[in-house]
């Protein structure tokens, strides 16, 4: 080691002598890019980074997440509402999933348009297609883990679709569910698949994909203009990749803050929750409406099967060496039709949800409920029976409240007591109402308006829903009862 | 793949200055992303470990008259503790010695390394590392750094109440966790 070398360079030499790290690094950084560096080539790097981001985020989330039906939802709620940085890390994981679907489709569409599957790249292309399927598998299994209403009912529909397949359907469904119903066992196996099996599969395939890519070399531009030019990956392409990754990362961070990852109330199998799939499954969902009974196999099995079958076989039957998209009108046309139909179906499903007043109302209610839950402060789950607090054992204590409280009207018991207590004493979910009429801005008129629409009234912490289902008479009774409540 | 040029000698290597500038910029952006991520992962992983402080709560041990005099009596209490997403109501053991109206309550947690303390004859013992205390809680031998930890108690009417708290282990002073 010479005297004028920095200690860092010295350490690098030391390491290189023992590991050959320099050759490894230059093998990575000196990858030749035919035709020179371009922003068009950033998608693969973005996907790899997103995958790493999902793995890191997932590992961190597992610090608090519990894959059990009776704790999963509370633990996710705890992550989202309480843990420092929790909303951000869960947000990145949530939106990162969508980002992976989007970028994977872009990557695939580009490879298709640029004819990059041609010229002995069948395995490279096929491994990419498999990875897209795995990404959908991640999305499907990850969706259930929060165990809220949307997760439960969405997965119920998804697993029922698996059960509709001829011959293997019911067996397949039982295996997926781990029984006859969607239970905590289903949650456990979705967790296992999501957290252990799929990451291993995707990591292995990504490694294979990269290996095949480096072996075949980049396809390069589809025209011959820049053929004289070759650039190394470092620094031009690496810089472009880094900029693109920074943009995607910034969007994920921004989304996590501006539109926090959703979490609704805990799954309630007895409710009539109206399930709507996440956006990437909307085309399938919409198609289901047009194929009743046995015909539903067409959108659920045959169509996706045909699409992916064609995808895997494409490099084998398309032997035309031409790569320029303008000279492959059929190929470009097919992709355009597929993408436009998918977008059209998504749009159509949204339009139909808005135009059906029943559905629109129900979805709006669910949204309100979700917002109500989301904005409510976190409440730890009670495990085991709590001790009777010493004070309550005192004779006389605890009865003073009840003595002053007139019997509440039935409508109160029905609609309000869950949160405000059966005697207006309040619970963890709602403030007490004792002596409310003595407070500022809580006159008879105010209370009436709050009951009418707590949001319109401008209540700082509005009630989870408004109560148009209460009759005017009931509301009046409740207001009168509240006015009589003394502290 | 038939390359027009040998990959080891790309034809248009950028000038060294531009090379190192773009390389530096990439590292800087990558570093920034890692920092944003790293800081938040750190907050996420470590934050909740420092957020909790458990306040002791007064718990009922039943009627004082029901506790026999003389030998130590073992009772369990339900202690509620918030741990992350849950409020866990777990049983903890308490040792009580009574002479008339004079009562002493001890936790059953050894001040040495936290094993469970038992009564044996005229002594309290911790079987893990053979610490011994008198029934009054005074250290008689073994590696325990201090006397058995007493719990604050009071008698209200007929009822005996204690304030259950956890104490730090391995130090000579009694200190609430």
Query: Does the CB of A376 have a partner CB in chain B at under 8 Å?
Result: no
Enclosing H/E stretch for A75: helix A72-81
Q: Which of B10, B15, B41, B44 to mutate to test the interface with A (most CBs of A within 10 A)?
A: B44
Query: Does the CB of A128 have a partner CB in chain B at under 8 Å?
Result: no
- Chain A residue numbers with beta carbons less than 8 Å from the beta carbon of B29 are 242-243, 245-246
- How far is residue B36 from each of residues A62, A240, A258, A423, B41, measured CA to CA in Å? 20, 20, 17, 49, 9
Q: Is the pLDDT of residue A1 over 70?
A: no
- Closest residue, chain B, to A392 (C-alpha): B60
Contact check, Cβ <8 Å, B5/A83: no
- Closest residue, chain B, to A86 (C-alpha): B44
- Range A112-132 average pLDDT: 94
Enclosing H/E stretch for A124: helix A122-144
How would residue A108 be classed by pLDDT, with cut points 50, 70 and 90? very high
Q: Tally the C-alpha atoms within 13 A of residue A128's C-alpha that lie toward its C-beta.
A: 29
- Closest residue, chain A, to B21 (C-alpha): A235
Tokens 């409310």 sit at which residue?
Answer: A436
Enclosing H/E stretch for A265: none
Q: Quick one: B7 exposed, middle or buried, by C-beta within 10 A (0-12, 13-18, 19+)?
A: middle
| A28 conformational bin, left if phi > 0, alpha if psi -120 to 50, beta if neither | alpha
| B3, B19, B58 member nearest A32 (Cβ) | B3
Predicted local confidence at residue B52, as pLDDT = 67
Q: Is the pLDDT of residue A469 over 60?
A: yes
Predicted local confidence at residue A219, as pLDDT = 86
- Range A364-391 average pLDDT: 85
Q: Is the pLDDT of residue A468 over 90?
A: no
Lowest mean pLDDT among B31-40, B68-77, B142-151: B68-77
Spatial separation of the C-alpha atoms in residues B59 and B90, rounded to whole Å: 13
Residues 6+ apart with CB under 8 A from B74: B93, B94, B95, B96, B108, B119
Spatial separation of the C-alpha atoms in residues B164 and B96, rounded to whole Å: 13
pTM for the full model? 0.80
Query: pLDDT tens for residues B84-139?
Result: 999 998 889 999 998 887 899 999 999 999 999 999 888 999 999 999 999 889 99
Contact check, Cβ <8 Å, A63/B37: no
* Residue B79 φ then ψ, to 5°: -110, 125
- Chain B residue numbers with beta carbons less than 8 Å from the beta carbon of A243 are 29
Query: Residues A177, A159: contact at Cβ < 8 Å?
Result: yes
- Closest residue, chain B, to A379 (C-alpha): B85
In angstroms, what separates the C-alpha of A150 from chain B's closest C-alpha? Answer: 21
- In terms of C-beta distances under 8 Å and separation of at least 24 residues, what long-range contacts does A149-152 make, across chains too? A149/A264, A149/A265, A149/A266, A149/A267, A149/A268, A149/A271, A149/A273, A149/A366, A149/A370, A150/A262, A150/A264, A150/A273, A150/A275, A150/A276, A150/A370, A151/A267, A152/A182, A152/A267, A152/A268, A152/A269, A152/A273
Query: Does the CB of A226 have a partner CB in chain B at under 8 Å?
Result: no
| B4, B8, B30 member nearest A227 (Cβ) | B4
Contact check, Cβ <8 Å, B44/A63: yes
Beta-carbon contacts below 8 Å between A and B: 154
CA angle A363, A369, A371 (to 5 degrees): 105
- Range A183-204 average pLDDT: 98
Contact check, Cβ <8 Å, A382/B89: yes
In angstroms, what separates the C-alpha of B117 from chain A's closest C-alpha? Answer: 23
According to DSSP, the residues that pair with B159 across neighbouring strands are B63, B156
Six-digit token string for A442:
């809580």
Query: Does the CB of A36 have a partner CB in chain B at under 8 Å?
Result: yes
């Amino acid at each position: 080691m010479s005297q004028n070398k920095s200690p860092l360079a010295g350490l690098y030499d030391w390491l290189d002598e023992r590991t050959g790290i320099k050759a490894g690094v230059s093998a990575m950084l000196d990858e030749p890019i035919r035709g020179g560096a371009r922003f068009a080539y950033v998608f693969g790097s973005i996907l790899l980074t997103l995958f790493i981001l999902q793995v890191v985020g997932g590992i961190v989330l597992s610090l608090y997440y519990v894959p059990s039906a009776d704790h999963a939802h509370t633990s996710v709620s705890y992550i989202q509402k309480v843990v420092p940085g929790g909303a951000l890390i869960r947000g990145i994981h949530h939106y990162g999933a969508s980002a992976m679907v989007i970028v994977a489709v872009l990557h695939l569409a580009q490879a298709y348009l640029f004819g990059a599957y041609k010229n002995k790249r069948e395995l490279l292309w096929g491994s990419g297609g498999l990875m897209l399927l795995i990404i959908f598998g991640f999305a499907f299994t990850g969706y259930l883990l929060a165990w809220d209403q949307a997760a439960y009912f969405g997965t119920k529909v998804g697993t029922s679709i698996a059960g509709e397949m001829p011959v293997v359907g019911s067996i397949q469904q039982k295996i997926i569910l781990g029984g006859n119903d969607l239970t905590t066992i289903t949650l456990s196996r979705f967790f296992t698949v999501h957290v252990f099996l799929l990451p291993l599969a995707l990591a292995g395939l990504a490694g294979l994909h990269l290996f095949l890519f480096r072996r075949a070399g980049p396809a390069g531009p589809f025209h011959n203009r820049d053929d004289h030019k070759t650039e190394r990956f470092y620094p031009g392409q690496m810089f472009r990749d880094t900029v693109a990754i920074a943009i995607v990362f910034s969007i994920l961070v921004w989304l996590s803050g501006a539109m926090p990852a959703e979490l609704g109330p805990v799954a309630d199998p007895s409710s009539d929750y109206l399930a709507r799939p996440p956006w990437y499954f909307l085309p399938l969902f919409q198609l289901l409406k047009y194929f009743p009974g046995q015909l539903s196999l067409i959108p659920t099995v045959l169509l996706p099967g045909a699409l992916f079958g064609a995808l895997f076989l494409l490099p084998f039957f398309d032997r035309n060496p031409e790569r320029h998209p303008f000279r492959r009108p059929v190929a470009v046309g097919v992709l355009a039709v597929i993408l436009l139909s998918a977008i059209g179906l998504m749009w159509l499903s949204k339009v139909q949800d808005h135009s059906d007043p029943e559905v629109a109302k129900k979805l709006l209610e669910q949204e309100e409920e979700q917002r109500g839950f989301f904005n409510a402060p976190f409440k730890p789950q009670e495990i085991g029976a709590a001790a009777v607090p010493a004070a309550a054992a005192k004779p006389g204590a605890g009865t003073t409240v009840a003595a002053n409280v007139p019997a509440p009207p039935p409508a109160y018991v029905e609609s309000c007591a869950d949160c405000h207590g059966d005697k207006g004493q309040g619970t963890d979910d709602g403030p007490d109402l004792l002596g409310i009429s003595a407070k500022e801005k809580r006159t008879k008129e105010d209370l009436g308006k709050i009951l009418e629409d707590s949001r319109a009234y401008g209540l700082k912490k509005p009630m989870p829903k408004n109560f148009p289902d209460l009759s005017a008479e009931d509301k009046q009774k409740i207001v009168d009862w509240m006015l009589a409540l003394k502290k | 793949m038939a390359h027009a040029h040998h990959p080891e000698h790309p034809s248009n290597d950028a000038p060294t200055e531009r090379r190192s500038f773009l390389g530096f910029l990439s590292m800087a952006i990558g570093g920034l992303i890692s920092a944003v991520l790293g800081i938040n992962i750190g907050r996420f992983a470590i934050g909740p470990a420092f957020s909790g402080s458990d306040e002791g709560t007064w718990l009922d041990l039943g009627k004082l008259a029901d506790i026999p005099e003389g030998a130590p009596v073992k009772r369990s209490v339900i202690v509620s503790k918030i741990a992350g997403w849950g409020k866990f109501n777990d049983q903890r053991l308490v040792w009580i010695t009574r002479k008339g109206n004079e009562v002493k309550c001890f936790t059953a947690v050894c001040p040495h390394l936290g094993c469970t303390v038992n009564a044996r004859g005229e002594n309290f013992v911790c079987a893990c590392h053979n610490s011994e205390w008198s029934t009054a809680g005074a250290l008689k031998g073994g590696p325990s750094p201090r006397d058995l930890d007493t719990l604050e108690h009071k008698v209200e009417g007929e009822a005996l109440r204690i304030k259950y708290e956890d104490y730090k282990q391995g130090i000579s002073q009694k200190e609430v966790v």
